[in-house]
Amino acid sequence: METLHFLLQGFDVATRPNNLLVALFGAFVGTIVGLLPGLGPINGVALLLPLAFAFGLPPETALILLAAVYLGCEYGGRISAILLNVPGDAAAVMTTLDGYPLARQGKAGIALSLSAVSSFTGSIIATCGVVLFAPLLAKWAVAFGPAEYFVLMIFAIACLGGMVGDKPVKTLMAALIGLALATVGVDSTTGVYRFTFGSVSLSDGIQFIIVVIGFFSVSEILVMLENTHSGQKAVKASGRLLFNFKEFCATFWTMIRSSLAGFVIGTLPGAGATIASAMTYMTEKRLAGSGGKFGEGDLRGLAAPEAANNASACGSLIPMLTLGVPGSGTTAVMIGALSLYNITPGPLLFEQQPDVVWGLIASLFIGNVILLVMNIPLVGLFSRMLSVPNWVLVPAISVISMVGVYAVHSTTFDLVLMIGLGVFGYILRKLDFPLSAVILGFVLGELMEDNLRRALSISAGELGILWQSPISLCLWALAALMLALPGLRWWRARNKARLAHA
């Protein structure tokens, strides 16, 4: 009851006209920043926070602004992924898989509007989750030790089995290349530098953002170059801008499932939106079986990662609010921002400053509604991006990608590295290696090795630690189920056939 009371109070604060205006502004800026590759919530927050100070906004208004920017970025990341095949942020990598084919088929409007609704569903379900289960989930997040993380990665890899498709060796190779790229840099257990070739610039390894922008943005530029000359016309957005009821129904359960899964994964510090979106995408692909056109513009393949990555973004607020531990790079920045207002997120936040917490949660709800309302009419505008001629569009993409990398690293070395990776990605693409597998290998690689070795450091080398806790046992079982699913489906189909026969 108390919860409800606080929440209502939060809504009361968040719906004041000036706060609504601030939320609208934040949502807009967030969307724009989010759609620029490389720039994300970190830049959005960094940009607006000084403004909030300059205008002397009270803490709750500043928080609303933060929440709106954060959400806006999560919405924005999908736009360039769908329209240009260039993910606006790392979590949108999976969105490109089916979003871009949809756009090529002239269904950009449908893809944009449906993904907006998926994002909305994901965020709303996750926010409800935060309201209802925050304290409970804090316990769940804490229960995840290195051993559990390792098994979670095994589970994730088992899910990825769905990606293998018709070229298993190439997919495997691609994933291995990703895993190998992740080993560059300091070994976080022993401090040994691996594959740095004596360069300090590589001492922290290759940053994720460089890999994503290199592999997607730069290699996409090269592909576009080819298409420009081979006379392939750029597609124009045509037909409906909005999805219809049938399409909504077809993706409804996908959204719900992916939102829940994304939320749960998002609450784990460090696991993050990329893994959540990948896992849900693969799971949906498995569930759809041969009935899906995943990879060629299946709406479910669009809805799943979008719902999951938004849900996970909201979920990652739980460790931040309840434990004071950043669940992601963005929440780290938010913690910094909160501390400027003398608010220290941590175990006491819910007790000591309920108005702040509930104000934030209420503004998440409101921010979402604003974003949905704002995004639907903008679909037409965004999809017109496709009719910008290539000789303007492509240079713009390359410049923005450069700035995206430069913003986080400020060294030309990383820019050169990005181009190198882009060329490498282009070659891989030409040779038919799936790039998304490389990216996922890269994300999973570091977490997997580190956590395995951490677990073994804890147990002094005993392997038993990997299946000691109930959580890891469950995850092993789920992983086994994932691997067995195609077999099960085949068995069921055979049975059905036999029944039909008899």
- Contact positions with another protein (CB under 8 A) in 115-144: 141-144
Q: Could you tell me which residues are beta bridge partners of residue 186?
A: 193
Q: Please give the Cα distance from 427 to 115 (Å, whole number).
A: 30
Q: Please give the Cα distance from 368 to 275 (Å, whole number).
A: 23
Q: Is 385 in the site for another protein (CB under 8 A)?
A: no
Cα dihedral across residues 257, 211, 82, 318: positive or negative: positive
Nearer to another protein, 49 or 370 (CB): 49
Q: 215 to 234, contacts with another protein by CB under 8 A?
A: 218, 221-222, 224-226, 228-230
Q: Is 484 in the site for another protein (CB under 8 A)?
A: no
- In the complex, least distance from residue 141 CB atom to another protein, rounded to whole angstroms: 7
Radius of gyration, CA atoms only, the chain: 22
Q: Is 346 in the site for another protein (CB under 8 A)?
A: yes
Q: Please give the Cα distance from 378 to 13 (Å, whole number).
A: 28
Residue in 24, 180, 250, 478 binding another protein, rule: CB under 8 A: 180
Residue in 17, 461, 464, 487 binding another protein, rule: CB under 8 A: 461
- In the complex, least distance from residue 165 CB atom to another protein, rounded to whole angstroms: 13
- In the complex, least distance from residue 252 CB atom to another protein, rounded to whole angstroms: 35
C-alpha distance from residue 492 to each of 167, 292, 453, 500 (Å): 25, 18, 40, 12
Kind plus residue range of the DSSP H or E element containing 185 = strand 185-186
Q: Is 468 in the site for another protein (CB under 8 A)?
A: no
Chain centroid to Cα 6, Å, comes to 30
Q: 277 to 336, contacts with another protein by CB under 8 A?
A: 319, 323-326, 329, 332-333, 335-336
Residue in 13, 27, 35, 39 binding another protein, rule: CB under 8 A: 39
Q: Please give the Cα distance from 148 to 154 (Å, whole number).
A: 10
- In the complex, least distance from residue 398 CB atom to another protein, rounded to whole angstroms: 6
- In the complex, least distance from residue 234 CB atom to another protein, rounded to whole angstroms: 11
- In the complex, least distance from residue 264 CB atom to another protein, rounded to whole angstroms: 16
Residue in 1, 190, 246, 464 binding another protein, rule: CB under 8 A: 190
End-to-end CA distance of the chain: 58
Q: Is 145 in the site for another protein (CB under 8 A)?
A: yes
Q: Is 354 in the site for another protein (CB under 8 A)?
A: no
What angle in degrees, to the nearest 10, is found between the helix axes of 93-104 and 272-288?
50
